[in-house]
Amino acid sequence: MTDEQLSAFRRRVRAWLSSADIPSLPDDLDARFAVLRRWQRDLYRAGLLGLTWPPEWGGSGLDSRYQQALIEELVNVRAPQPAGLIGLDVVGPSIGRFGTERQRSRYLPPILSGDEIWCQGFSEPEAGSDLASVKTTARLESGTYIVNGQKVWTSWAHVADWCALLVRTSVADGRRGLSYLIVDMRSRGITVRPLRQISGDSEFNEVFFENVTVPASNLVGLPGDGWAIAMDTLSHERGTYIGRRYAEVSAALGDACDSLAEALGRDQAAVPERLFETVGEAKVAEQVLHAQAVATLGRSVTSGASPLDSVDKLVLARTEQDIFESLRSLLGPFLNECGETAWGLRSLAVGRDYLYGRAASIYGGTSQIQKNIVAERLLGVPRD
Ligand SMILES: Cc1cc2nc3c(=O)[nH]c(=O)nc-3n(C[C@H](O)[C@H](O)[C@H](O)COP(=O)(O)OP(=O)(O)OC[C@H]3O[C@@H](n4cnc5c(N)ncnc54)[C@H](O)[C@@H]3O)c2cc1C
C-alpha cells in the first residue's frame, strides 16, 4: 500500500463524513448505545468496517494504518466509534482465526454490520488476573454443553446477543482444562445483573449461568484450546486499543485546550498561573502516547501479537490517567458539580473522562500483570 493510496482513503472517508448524519451522544448509557449501534450500521454500509479483516471474513484486507486513519478522521470531526467494538476489535478476530468455516460465515458478518453485539466472558470473582483459575464449567452431554458458573465485569452483557465464554471443560489443572464457547445471551438460565460504576454508568455486569445449554458446535477450536484462544483475544484488546484511545484522549485534551484558550481570551486575570504548567504536562504526556501509538502501528503492519503490547498498555494507562488528572486538577471542587464550568472546562465531560481513565490500569489485564509480562518475556527476569 502506498502513501498515495492511504491519502486517497483519507479523502474518501472525509468526503463520506462531510455528508454523513454524525450523531451526538446522549448522556444516558442505554440511549447512547442505541445511537452508536445505528452509527455502526452507517459506517458498515459505507464500507468502513472490517478494514483490517481479510476479504474471506468480509473485510477489506488492508493494513492497520488504514484502521488508524479511519479512527483519526472520525475523531477529527468528533464522530463516535461504532457500538460493537468487542466484536470488531477483540472477539471477532479470534473467531476468524480459530473458528470453523461455519462459525466464520455465521458470526462475522453481523459483527461487522452491528446487527449482533458481543461480550467477552472471561473474568470471574476468583479469576481475573489469574484466568487459569476459571471455575465456570461446561459439561458435554449428548452433543450439548451444560454451562454453570458466574462471570463478572462483563462489559455490555446487558445488550449483547452473544458471549465469548471461557469455560472449564475438564478437571485438568489450570489452563489445560479451558475451552472457548460461543454462547447465545438469550439462552434460558442466563441472568445478567448490571454493576454501577464510579462514573455512574452501568457498562459492565455480573452474569450467572445455571444449566445453560450450548450446542457442541459452538466450541471454538478443540476442547482445551481455550487458553490459547483467550490469550489471542486479550492480545487484540491490549494491542489494537492504543491507537483508538490515543485519538480519543488527544481529542479530549484538544477540546479542553480550546475551552481554556477561550476563557483566557475573555478574562486573563481569572485564569490561575498553574494552568500553563498543568496543560504543558498534559501535552507532554499526549506526545508520549502519540510516539507509542505510532511505534505500535508500525509494528502491527508487519507482525502480530507481541509482549510489546504490554508496554503499550502500560504507557496508555499511565498517560491517559496523567492527562485526565491534569484536567481534573484545574476543575478542583467543581469536578463534582454536574454541569459546572471552570476556566471553560465542563465538569461533566472532564469528570467522566477522569473517572473512566481509572479503569485503564485494570481492564485487559492490570498494570501489575503487564509489568510481570514485560519482566518475564521481554527482560528475561525469572518467574517468582
Ligand atoms: C472497565 C472494565 C471493563 C472490563 N470488561 C471486561 C469484560 O468485558 N470481560 C471480562 O472478562 N473482564 C472484564 N474486565 C475485568 C478485567 O479484565 C479484570 O478486572 C482484570 O483482569 C483484573 O482482575 P480482577 O479485577 O479480578 O483483579 P485481581 O486479579 O483480583 O487483582 C487484584 C489486584 O492484585 C494484583 N495482582 C493480581 N495478580 C498479581 C500478580 N501475579 N502479580 C502482581 N500483582 C497481581 C492486580 O494487579 C490488582 O491490583 C473489565 C474491567 C474493567 C475495569
Which residues lie across from 355 on neighbouring strands? none
Residue nearest to atom 35 of ligand 1 (CA): 368
pLDDT of 352 > 90? The answer is no
The beta strand positions in the chain, using DSSP E, are 118-121, 137-141, 144-155, 162-168, 178-184, 190-195, 204-215, 219-220, 341-342, 345-346
Which H or E element spans position 242? helix 241-266
Structure confidence at residue 260 as a pLDDT band (50, 70, 90): confident
What is the rounded CA–CA span in Å between residue 73 and residue 83? 17
Question: What type of residue sits at position 162?
Answer: W
What is the best residue among 119, 162, 313, 363 to mutate for testing ligand 1's pocket, by most ligand atoms within 8 Å of CB? 363
What pLDDT is stored for residue 216 in this prediction? 97
Give the up-direction half-sphere exposure of residue 34: CA atoms within 13 A in the CB hemisphere: 5
Mean pLDDT to the nearest integer, 347-370: 89
Distance 275 CA to ligand 1 centre (A): 34
| Distance (Å) from CA 349 to ligand 1 centroid | 26
154 lines ligand 1 (CB under 6 A): yes
Q: How much distance in Å is there from the Cα of 12 to the middle of ligand 1? A: 40
What is the predicted pLDDT for the residue at 144?
A: 97
Say which residue, 190 or 322, is predicted with more confidence. Answer: 190
What is the pLDDT averaged over residues 359-381? 93
Which ligand 1 atom minimizes the distance to the CA of 156? 8
- Taking the CA of residue 356 as reference, the ligand 1 atom at the shortest distance is 1
Tell whether ligand 1 has an atom less than 6 A from the beta carbon of residue 204: yes
DSSP 210: E
- Predicted pLDDT at 264: 77
Between the CA of 156 and the centroid of ligand 1 the distance, in Å, is 17
Number of residues that this document lists for the chain: 384
Residue 337 known to be catalytic: no
Burial of 351 (0-12, 13-18, 19+ CB in 10 A): buried
The 10 Å CB-count burial string (b at 16+, else e) for 245-281 is bbbbbbbbbebbbebbeebeeeeeeebeeebeebbee
Percentage of the chain modeled with pLDDT above 90: 60
Residue position matching grid coordinates 501489575: 368
Neighbouring CB atoms inside 10 A of 143's CB total 8
Which residue has the CA at smallest separation from atom 29 of ligand 1? 129
Q: Which atom of ligand 1 is nearest to the CA of 127?
A: 26
Share of the chain above pLDDT 70, in %: 95
241 in contact with ligand 1, CB cutoff 6 A: no
* pLDDT confidence tier of residue 245, bands split at 50, 70 and 90: confident
Counting from 1 in the atom list of ligand 1, the atom nearest the Cα of 368 is 47
> What mean pLDDT, rounded, does the chain reach?
90
* pTM metric for this prediction: 0.92
Q: What is the pLDDT of residue 27?
A: 80
* Ligand 1 near 170 CB (within 6 A): no
Q: What pLDDT does 48 receive?
A: 97
Query: How do strand 162-168 and strand 118-121 relate by DSSP bridges?
Result: parallel
* 383 CB-contact burial (10 Å; exposed 0-12 / middle 13-18 / buried 19+): exposed
Nearest CA to ligand 1 atom 44: 368
pLDDT of residue 191: 98
pLDDT of 93 above 70: yes
| β-bridge mates for residue 346, sequence order | 341
Q: How high is the pLDDT of residue 336?
A: 67
For the Cβ of 356 lying below 6 angstroms from any atom of ligand 1, the answer is no
Distance (Å) from CA 131 to ligand 1 centroid: 9
pLDDT of residue 127: 95
Question: pLDDT tens across 26-35, in order?
Answer: 888 889 999 9
Question: Which one of 116, 237, 286, 320 is the catalytic residue?
Answer: 237
